[in-house]
Chain A
Amino acid sequence: MSRFALPIPQLRARTGPRTDELARVRLASAGSARGRQIPVRHAPTSVASSVCGFCSTGCSLDVHVRDRRPVNVVPTDVYPVNSGSACPKGWEAMTPMSSAGRATTPLLRRGGRLEPVSWDVAFDEFCSKVRRVQADHGADSFAFLSTGQIVTEEMALLGAVAKFGLGMVHGDGNTRQCMATAVTAYKECFGFDAPPYTYADFEESDVVVLVGSNLAIAHPIMFERLQRNPHRPEIIVVDPRATETAMIATRHLATAPKSDQTLFYGIARELIAREAIDRRYIAEHTSGFEDYAAFVADFDAGRVCAATGLDVESYLGAIDAIAAGKRVSFWWTMGVNQGHAATRTAQAIIALALMTGNIGRPGTGANSITGQCNAMGSRLFSNTASLFCGRDTTNPEHRQEVADIIGIDAAAIPDRPSWAYDQIIEGIVKGKIRGLWVIATNPAHSWINHGHLHDVLERLDVLVVQDLYADTETAVLSDLFLPAAGWAEKEGTFINSERRIGRVRALHQPPGDARTDFEIFQGIAEVWGCGPMFRRWRTPAKVFDLLAELSRGRPCDISGIGGHTGLDEVAVGVQWPQPEGSLDTAVERRLFEDGRFFTPDQRARFVFEEPTVAPERASDRYPLVLLTGRGTTAQWHTQTRTGRSPVLAALGPEHLYVDMSPADAEARGVKSGDTVAVTSRRGAVEARVFVTPSVATGQVFLPMHDRRINVLTAPGFDPYSRQPSYKHSAVQVAAV
């Protein structure tokens, strides 16, 4: 009968193609007995994990792959860093990779325009351009800018090929912009660039001091760990702004910008005066304390409160809390690192941990939180500022060691140190640097005072840019553009903030002719003619093994990991050090448990200096202090990637807003939504006003993600780390 049935319209269509769009299936998960439901339309044929390519937290993400195409990303359930969580950038990690804006072919500037060329032409052009510049102006006239965004094996190969093969002398990383201060501070105090902590310390402290860190927004998954602390910790946030992180603080010390160095000297003085210090630890494991104590004696409460703007009660209350703490951890990020006296400020934080014996035990430490996904890899293995594994390139023994391990002539290793980022830029201005190779970073957006930088890059004879997208602010200026593979398109490792080495895997194909950075460096070496020097660097896995050899006996010894295979077997990453034969295979480990540091006498040092004022002060003409920082969790740095995800774009503001206090807004007759000009001595930017009490009167805040921001910032640098001081510029704001 059914074939005679009339097509009776469905009165209530509970099923159909639109309903099926959202159908879900159960996907087994290693993390739970039952797994979780996932959308049928994105059901994978295979799942593999890779460490996230945005920030230094180092979350592991599961990539769902169907027919060799990535269809979805879900945070890995069983991974010690993030155990099933991710911030929006992680959830959306694949969208920028699949973006139609990806560069698919090398581009060569001909007659003013960038035109597609083959890789053969690109490599030939690269080599002939570099050779020509070097022939005319010397081998050191062609420099490179590396990155914290590519895998360790690639940055190592880059450092080796550029310096040992191509004869370049000057190469620095964009990590100079975020981590150089921590590196310098740790080296001086601990004898090696060694963040001592593990993320479990967030959960085990009874007092947590966060300095210049909006952890909730900049590192949401680390913040998760802090929120899981079961000890009802005192959370002391030192930040001029009432940030999201300050909102959960038990004590918010809203210090005047760049007064934190004075604050920590003052806290040291009070702790010493109260005898709330660990004399035994100081005596056994540190040097220089007496000088330190004598130096900080001048920093009485009156002086500190005058400098910081704090009232005595909250100042002393915070000290009470630190003094009462049994497990006090100190954490800092860019608010400290990006300052004119950043290194000494970081060292003042380290000093507090040392004098109170809050180091080497659970829930303690003087802990620098890193920025980029592989900043730590860059610090140890990029062969830019230092020779591999923290060695000194001016030390002939170090050069010989490296040469022997990698099997090259020691004469190929430059015997003078590289210029820092700002010195390379200055070198361009002075005509000493004539060619620049920029890999996976975007200085035309991110470099301080970049209105000036555009002119600088124009002076170059040759600018080569290697990136995922040919439309970044820097790539559009290039003479030669090399399209690179991105996240989860290549093999290697990232090292996160807690020194955890995690695997990055090639789970899908890069678009078009784009190649991995590894293949690009190899291709250049071959065409240059130095290919034979790097025969032992054939694959990322082989390079990891070489790096393990280079690390042997160094503080960052990873010879016991067992290479990529070993990492794949443990599947939860390994924190350095892991020397061969070590029996300590705990998933979460911290340094200095035995109180022995990496200095020659194995004692940690107290380092101090009289505080100085920020180079650019507010004036009558520019009466406001401009602070910069991360805007939302959905935005990453110059937004070359996050800007390509519609979801992430929807989570951040469409327009540029300048945060301003109600009093400053009223004084200027502006209200939220009004357009204003933010002017510094270097330029002006139009923005909308957001009136919010989260910034103090006399200060304004701009998120760093808009390409115009660094037109305003004042080009100051920490003298020791040479890190730019993004956090303190004088501006005026006026209605337009």
Chain B
Amino acid sequence: MTDVADPSAVDLFGEWHDGAGASGMRAPGGGTAYRALLPATAPGPGQQYRFEVDLDSCTGCKACVAACHSLNGLDEDETWRSVGLLVGGTAAPPTTATVATPVAPWQQHVTTACHHCLEPACLAGCPVEAYEKDPITGIVSHLDDQCIGCRYCMLTCPYEVPSFNERLGVVRKCDMCKDRLAEGEEPACVQGCPTDAISIGLVSTVELQAGLAVDPSARLVPTAPRSAHTQPTTVYLTRRPTAPHNVVAADDHHVVPAHNHPPLVAMLVLTQMSVGAFVLSHLLDLSGVSEAAGSTASAVLSWVSALVAIGASVLHLGRPLVAWRAVLGLRHSWLSREIVAFGAYAPLGGATAAASAGWLPNGLTPWLATATALVGLAGVGCSAMLYAVTGRPYWRLDRTVARFVVTMAATGGAAVALADVAVAGGEHAAVAATWVATCGIAVGWMMTFVFVARHRGAAGPLGRSVSLLTGVLSPQMGLAFGASGVAVVIAGGASAGSPSPTAAVVLAAVALLAVLVAAWIERGLYFTGDSPDRMPGALR
């Protein structure tokens, strides 16, 4: 929040409240605005449009939400703007307190929509170039017919702006009513605000960036995500004394599991099993541990799971028929890169399996296998990056990579073990693979315990994640622990005893299944346990 210490804010307020007065100036939209709600000129070089919110005038009537809905013809339950609430201060005892005293009860409604960021994360992440930022106005708009409905922008945007429209299979969002602005008409929310709290202004992009460089922990309003990440342009102005120290959002207590994205879970677990198995099998080959038949079986198993993973990810799209566009964002989108990498990985894996089975010249096998392993690892790397770049602490790169490596080791190890036991007797490769899987599981649990211990009770996103994982999500945690425990016990039992070949195959299959169940739940928790900072919300 910018307070009176910011001279530009004071100037602006001087103009707003003293100049125009109740002159009854006619606003283009029709109503009687008492001050100019649009800038007098178009943005010059180094400038762009921004929303300006006069918090002192915002009473939380939420007409902006309804006006945006009606004047833009949104679907019945679709809204592009929302109004949250911040509260703080000290409760008045049954005596009075004037509002000017610093301990007085304090509340502030906060209207929010797209912030038309200088570094829009929606745009950077979009695999199909469905976002564009106008070079003159700075407005970030969405091409609804270009969108394939992957919803990745809903993960990258820290402000929960893009919203998915089930009917159309695409995401939609605020475009600052750019067609209205082009004709000198105010955006719908500006027209709809009874108290003229929302207006459009010009911002110097250089000054905004310089400010964020000086204060990288700045937020638009208390409790909002850090602005340094995407450099949002909206400015919230107030002339009131600064907010009390104990401000919380009205929905602060509303910490609930996020969406669990089953297709993404399937895609991540299965690609990581595939790549893990492939890499492990290839390493065992190179070190001469594995039998040829076992390698071939591993390659086939990897390949099939890669195909299933890709199928699952396509199902996730709102418009699977135009999925091919996902290559367009290669220059900037980690999702495009992931898609390209796995798009290459699947045929390479198929070719490796074919070569290994003798359907292609056998001399190609090591080359193909090496290429497949490298491309597969690149794909998993892209997967990790595409979550890490969202800036969410729970998905920070090291945490994400560690989880993905554990998944590759556990599921890949179990898969290689099964393949080797099934077709090659499980003499050497299976033993080594079982060790890799067991170590992976152990490391995974160690990481989880350390994470929970370190962040338990902490304020902020990671503390909220721990409270979710140890609270409402604890049954899932228990299931994942149990399933992986079953796999470890089977592995231990199988190596201690000497089961019949058929029993060994069954045991290896059950172990793989158990590991997959654990990995599936763990990956669900990767999504549901995330609780990033967000704009203040209202009571829900």
Q: Which of B31, B104, B192 contacts A31 (CB 8 A)?
A: B31
Q: Report the minimum CB–CB distance from B98 to chain A (whole Å).
A: 5
- Residues on A with beta carbons closer than 8 Å to the beta carbon of B253: 671-673
- The total of interchain contacts (Cβ-Cβ below 8 angstroms) comes to 271
A353 at the interface (CB under 8 A from B): no
**Cα A694 to Cα B87 with chains together (Å):** 8
Max chain B CB contacts within 10 Å: which of A19, A648, A671?
A19
A91 interface contact, C-beta 8 A: yes
When the two chains form their complex, are residues B73 and A13 in contact, meaning their CB atoms are under 8 A apart?
no
**Smallest CB separation, B463 vs chain A (Å):** 15
Contact of B539 (CB < 8 Å), options: A75, A246, A690: A690
Shortest Cβ distance from A672 into B: residue = B253
A504 to chain B, nearest CB (A): 20
A88 surroundings in chain B (CB, below 8 A): 61-63, 65-66
Cα separation A22 to B70 with both chains bound (whole Å): 11
Beta-carbon contact of B95 and A91 below 8 Å: no
Contacts A36-B29, A216-B60, A220-B61 given: A74-B96 contact, CB under 8 Å? no
Encode contact with A along B473-502: 1 for CB under 8 Å, 0 otherwise: 000000000000000000000000000000
Q: Which of A1-38 contact B (CB under 8 A)?
A: 9, 11-19, 21-22, 24, 26, 29, 31-32, 34-38
User: Is the CB–CB distance between A310 and B95 below 8 Å?
Assistant: yes
CB-based contact B94/A697 at 8 Å? yes
Question: When the two chains form their complex, are residues B30 and A24 in contact, meaning their CB atoms are under 8 A apart?
Answer: no
Contact A18:B145 (CB < 8 A) given known A34-B185, A84-B27, A647-B66: yes
For A39, list chain B residues within 8 Å (CB).
71-73
Give the complex CA separation of A726 and B536 in angstroms: 32
A519 to B252, CA, bound (A): 51
Report the minimum CB–CB distance from A239 to chain B (whole Å).
11
- Binary CB contact string for chain B from 93 to 108 against chain A (1 if under 8 A, 0 otherwise): 1111111000011111
Give complex CA distance A11, B129 in Å. Answer: 9
Taking the complex as formed, is A67 at the interface, i.e. its CB lies under 8 A from any CB of chain B? no
* Inter-chain contact B96/A310, CB cutoff 8 Å: yes
B96, A254: Cβ atoms under 8 Å?
Answer: yes
Q: Which residues of chain A in 305-363 are interfacial with respect to chain B, using CB atoms and an 8 Å cutoff?
A: 308-311, 314-315, 317
**Cα distance, A651 to B63, chains bound together (Å):** 10
Segment 114-150 of B: residues with Cβ below 8 Å from A: 129, 143-147
Interface centre among B21, B95, B108 (most CB of A within 10 A): B95
Answer yes or no: A224 CB below 8 A from chain B CBs: yes
Contact A253–B96 (Cβ < 8 Å): yes
Asked if residues A85 and B63 are in contact (CB atoms below 8 Å), the reply is yes
Contact residues on A (Cβ < 8 Å of other chain), bracket: 35 or more
- Which residues of chain A are near B424, meaning CB under 8 Å? none
> In the bound complex, what is the Cα–Cα distance between A89 and B79 (angstroms)?
15
Contact flag A228-B91 (CB < 8 Å), given A12-B129, A13-B143? no
* Count, chain B residues at interface, CB 8 A: 78
Instruction: Please state if B63 and A633 are interface contacts (CB–CB under 8 Å).
Output: yes
Query: B28 an interface residue at 8 Å Cβ cutoff?
Result: yes
Q: Is the CB of A9 within 8 A of B324?
A: yes
Q: Report the bound CA distance from A39 to B183 in whole Å.
A: 15
Q: How far is the CB of B82 from chain A (nearest CB, A)?
A: 8
Are the CB atoms of A655 and B72 closer together than 8 Å?
Answer: no
Give the CA-CA distance A648 to B66 in the complex, in Å: 8
B34 at the binding interface (Cβ < 8 Å): yes
Is B191 an interface residue, CB under 8 A from the partner? yes
Q: Is the CB of A692 within 8 A of B31?
A: no
B195 interface residue per 8 A CB criterion = yes
Q: In the assembled complex, which residues on chain B have CB atoms less than 8 Å from the CB atom of A647?
A: 65-66, 69, 76-77, 79
CA distance A662 to B192 in the complex (A): 35
- A247, A314, A634: which has the most chain B beta carbons within 10 Å? A247
Contact call A696/B93, Cβ cutoff below 8 A = yes
Which of B27, B60, B69 is A244 in contact with, Cβ under 8 Å? Answer: B60
A37 touches B60 (CB 8 A): no
What are the interface flags for A229-262 relative to B under an 8 Å C-beta threshold, 1 for contact and 0 otherwise?
A: 1100000000000101111111111111000000
What separation, in Å, do the CA atoms of A250 and B100 have in the docked complex? 8
A22/B73 in contact, CB under 8 A? yes
Assembled-state Cα–Cα distance A347/B380 (Å): 76
Bound complex: CA A72 to CA B71 (Å): 9
Question: CA–CA, A256 to B61, complex, Å?
Answer: 26
Is B83 close to A, CB under 8 A?
Answer: yes
Interface string of B305-339 (1 = CB under 8 A from A): 00000000000000000001100100000000000
User: In this assembly, does B1 line the interface, its C-beta being within 8 Å of a C-beta of chain A?
Assistant: no
Q: Which of B93, B96, B144, B540 contacts A252 (CB 8 A)?
A: B96
Known: A217-B61, A651-B65. A697 touches B22 (CB 8 A): no
- Per-residue 0/1 for B338-368: is the Cβ within 8 Å of any A Cβ (1 yes, 0 no)? 0000000000000000000000000000000
Say which residue of A247, A672, A673 sits within 8 Å of B107 (CB atoms): A247
User: Chain B at the A interface: mostly helix, strand, loop or mixed?
Assistant: loop
Contact A224 B194 (CB under 8 A): yes
B168 within 8 A of A: yes
- A72 vs B61: C-alpha distance in the bound complex, in angstroms? 20
Given contacts A653-B538, A693-B87, contact A698 B31 (CB under 8 A): no
B180 within 8 A of A: yes
**Is the beta-carbon distance between A651 and B99 smaller than 8 angstroms?**
no
> Is A40 among interface residues, defined by CB-CB distance under 8 A?
yes
Verify if A131 is at the interface (C-beta below 8 Å from B): no
Interface presence of A183 (CB below 8 A): no
Cβ of B170 under 8 Å from chain A: yes
Please tell me if B42 contacts chain A, counting CB pairs below 8 Å.
no
The answer to whether A632 has its CB under 8 Å from any CB of chain B is: yes
**Are A37 and B71 within 8 A (Cβ)?**
yes
* Contact of A85 with B192 at beta-carbon distance under 8 Å, contacts A18-B145, A37-B179, A91-B66 already known: yes
Q: In the assembled complex, how far is the CB of residue A438 from the closest CB belonging to chain B, in whole angstroms?
A: 30
Asked if B56 is at the interface of the complex by the 8 Å CB criterion, the answer is yes
The answer to whether A309 touches B95, judged by C-beta atoms less than 8 angstroms apart, is yes
- Judge whether A40 and B73 touch: CB under 8 Å: yes
Per-residue CB proximity of B521-540 to A under 8 Å, as 1/0?
A: 00000000000000000111
Is the C-beta of A223 less than 8 angstroms from some C-beta in chain B?
Answer: yes
Give CA–CA (A75, B31) in the complex, Å: 9
* B194 contact from A217, A221, A252, A690, Cβ within 8 A: A221
Decide yes or no whether A174 CB sits under 8 A from chain B.
Answer: no
Asked if A314 and B96 make an inter-chain contact with CB atoms under 8 angstroms apart, the answer reads: yes
Residues in chain A near residue B79, CB distance under 8 A: 647, 650
- Cα-based distance from A82 to B95 in the complex (angstroms): 37
B28 near A21 with CB under 8 A, answer: no
B123 to chain A, nearest CB (A): 13
Q: How far is the CA of A236 from the CA of B383 in the complex (A)?
A: 58
Contact B61 A242 (CB under 8 A): no
**Residues of B contacting A527 with CB < 8 Å?**
none
Known: A34-B28, A37-B180, A84-B29. A242 touches B539 (CB 8 A): no
Instruction: Check if A252 sits within 8 Å of B34, measured CB to CB.
Output: no
Would you call A50 an interface residue if the criterion is a C-beta within 8 Å of the partner chain's C-beta atoms? no
- Nearest CB of chain B from residue A715's CB, rounded to whole Å: 25
Asked whether any CB of chain B lies closer than 8 Å to the CB of A695, the reply is yes
Q: Is the CB of B92 within 8 A of A696?
A: yes
* Whole-angstrom distance between the Cβ of A673 and the nearest chain B Cβ: 3
B440 to chain A, nearest CB (A): 37
Chain B residue with Cβ nearest A305 = B95
B448 at the interface (CB under 8 A from A): no
Q: Are B95 and A32 in contact (CB under 8 A)?
A: no
A residues with a Cβ closer than 8 A to B are: 9, 11-19, 21-22, 24, 26, 29, 31-32, 34-42, 72-75, 77-78, 82-88, 91-92, 95, 203, 216-217, 220-221, 223-224, 227-230, 242, 244-256, 308-311, 314-315, 317, 632-634, 646-648, 650-651, 653-655, 657, 661-663, 671-673, 690, 692-699
14 contacts between A and B (CB under 8 A): A9-B324, A22-B144, A41-B73, A75-B31, A84-B191, A242-B106, A244-B59, A244-B109, A246-B99, A247-B107, A252-B99, A633-B60, A651-B62, A673-B254
Kindly list 6 other residue pairs between chains A and B, CB separation below 8 angstroms, not including A671-B253, A697-B91: A39-B73, A84-B32, A242-B104, A242-B106, A242-B107, A696-B94
List the 10 closest pairs (A to B, CB-CB), nearest first: A39-B73, A84-B31, A16-B145, A77-B30, A673-B253, A31-B30, A91-B66, A661-B91, A242-B105, A216-B59
